[in-house]
Amino acid sequence: MAGAARNKWLAMHLDTAGVGIVSQIAAGQSWIGILVGLGLGLPVSRAVGARAGSGDDAGARRAVWTGFSIVAPVAVVAAGVGLVAARWLSTALLGTPDHADLVRVSMLGVIGLGLYQIVQGAVAGRSDVRAPLAMALGGVGVAAALTFMLVPRFGLLGAVLATSALYPAACIATIAVHRRRHPETFSPRPRPAFDATEAKALLSVSGAALLLPLADQGTLLALRAHFLRVHGVAANGLLQAAIALSQQVGALFYAYLASYAFGKISGAAAAYGRDGVETYTRRHWTPLVLLAAAVFAIAIVGASPLLHLLYSSRFDPARRMMACALFGEFGRVCLQVVALGALPLGGSGLWLRVGIVQPVAMAVGYGVFVALGVGDLTLPLAYACAGVVTFVAGALMMARAGVRLDARRLLIAGVAYAGLALLVRATI
């Protein structure tokens, strides 16, 4: 709700072109922030979940503080480089160096996102489902409040400043909320805070955890930069509205999977091995996929009123883009459900093979649709197709690893896909 209110305010004051600029700056900020985090969020979550489950709070705390000790200096250095190279980054993202000051402001968000990955990993390892709420209230809520205050007076600069404050505020809020139930997560601080053996263990897993989001977000960022140059910054604003609303729908499910289910399936893998992962995957498959299908169907049907309500009438042309993006997002949700146990079961190798399909499929699809000349639907259609390809590939890889969906569960997915495809076809 806070994000929707924020988007509405941006749409009213900045129009499609302004939203396109702010969204591209935010996408660049996210990609650099992911790089700064070094992929440590997931191995920290895994370490905390395993050790907290066995009563080793000191070991869990050591993993968290080692993660902070690694990321903090990297974040400061990356922000410094961003300040110096702002004109080049502005040109790469938007085709002009004129927005270098906006890039410089976004470096605050880079630092915040890098640190937040450790915070999120620490709380997810204990399956604390309040963390997404803390993120919403303390992160998105603060960003929305700043947007309301700053955008009318400072325009694009105010919008980027508000966006950049999201993750620093989320770090503070999440730690404050989590410490009430689990004070042992952060205190007492181990001495020294950095443990070389712990760092080696975390970094040995973080490679894939870093590569996948970098590839995923980097591919989308590069494709959007090309899309912006071909179709203009206003079209990028429409695309941003479509993808943002689609990802907000998907975030309902990702929050559950990352903040609760991953910790549980990691414990099941440690206790029961492959059978534990398969049992947990099958148990939550049907309710999650059926719920996701219903939610995404409602969003596709209501795309026009949602865009009109949450943005403005000037964003109505994004309806077709949003329908395609929602279809692709449903595929990403299905993939996350079936492949949730990839890392605990098969290590970083299996998890990397499953995850790398998405950016590759999206890049290939984009190239195909550009060649076919489908206009401003090139990227939304690539996003939609990549969702299907990624889910199918992920399900096959997990089956080879011993985690199989039976015929009934696959039929549920097939029927859901067919229904959503019909809705998308009617929309575009």
| pLDDT for 297 beyond 90 | yes
> Angle CA(219)–CA(26)–CA(172) in degrees, nearest 5?
120
* Comparison of pLDDT for 128 and 315, the residue scoring more: 315
Q: What is the predicted pLDDT for the residue at 419? A: 92
pLDDT at residue 361 in the model: 93
Mean pLDDT of 290-303: 91
- The amino acid that residue 165 corresponds to is A
Residue 384 has pLDDT above 90, yes or no: yes
Asked if the model's pLDDT at residue 300 lies above 70, the reply is yes
Report the distance separating Cα 29 and Cα 106, nearest Å.
6
Which residue blocks in 54-140 are alpha helix, DSSP H?
57-84, 86-94, 100-124, 131-134
* Calculated CA dihedral for residues 89, 93, 99, 101, nearest 10 degrees: -40
* Euclidean distance between CA atoms 115 and 110, whole angstroms: 9
Phi, psi of 312, deg, nearest 5: -165, 175
Q: Is the pLDDT of residue 289 over 70?
A: yes
3-state DSSP helix/strand/coil % of the chain, to nearest 5: 90, 0, 10
Q: Phi and psi at residue 127, in whole multiples of 5°?
A: 50, 45
Of 81-85, 245-249, 301-305, which has the strongest mean pLDDT? 81-85
Cβ-based burial of 370 (10 A; exposed 0-12, middle 13-18, buried ≥19): middle
pLDDT at 208 over 70: no
What's the confidence (pLDDT) of residue 296?
Answer: 94
Q: Is-contact 37 113, C-beta < 8 A?
A: yes
Q: What is the radius of gyration, based on Cα positions, of the chain?
A: 21
- Token duo for residue 183: 């004070």
Range with the poorest average pLDDT among 91-105, 187-201, 270-284: 187-201
Dihedral (Cα; 323, 14, 214, 101), 10-degree rounding? 170
**Tell me, what's the pLDDT at 15?**
75
The arithmetic mean of pLDDT across residues 34-62, rounded, is 79
Which own/partner contact pairs does 422-427 have at CB distance under 8 Å and 24+ positions apart?
423/297, 423/300, 423/301, 423/323, 424/300, 424/323, 424/324, 424/326, 424/327, 424/384, 427/300, 427/303, 427/319, 427/320, 427/323
Asked whether residue 280 carries a pLDDT value surpassing 80, the answer given is: yes
Please give the residue that has the higher pLDDT: either 138 or 335. 335
Give the position of tokens 């955890």. Answer: 209
Contact 116, 64 (CB under 8 A): no
Q: What tens digit of pLDDT does each residue of 230-264 get?
A: 888 788 888 888 888 888 889 888 878 877 787 77
Residue % of the chain over a pLDDT of 70? 98
Check residue 309 and give its pLDDT: 74
Cβ–Cβ < 8 Å for 340, 281: yes
What is the domain partition of the chain in residue ranges? 1-203, 232-428
Q: Are 238 and 379 in contact (CB under 8 A)?
A: no
Grouping H, G, I as helix, E, B as strand and the rest as coil, residue 407 is: helix
**CA-based nearest residue to 209, from 60, 110, 359, 355:** 355
Per-residue pLDDT, 67: 87
pLDDT digits (tens, 9 = 90+) for 360-380: 999 999 999 999 988 889 999
Predicted local distance difference test score (pLDDT) of residue 46: 77
The predicted pLDDT at position 151 comes to 85
Name the pTM for this structure.
0.75
Q: What is the pLDDT of residue 80?
A: 92
Least trusted range by pLDDT, from 21-25, 115-119, 198-202, 236-240: 198-202
Most confident of 194-203, 211-220, 335-344, 408-417: 408-417
Banded pLDDT at 381 (limits 50, 70, 90): very high
CA distance 65 to 53: 18
**Residue of higher predicted confidence among 351 and 385:** 385
Q: What is the pLDDT of residue 411?
A: 92
Predicted local confidence at residue 234, as pLDDT: 82
Q: Is the pLDDT of residue 396 over 90?
A: yes
pLDDT for 323 equals: 92
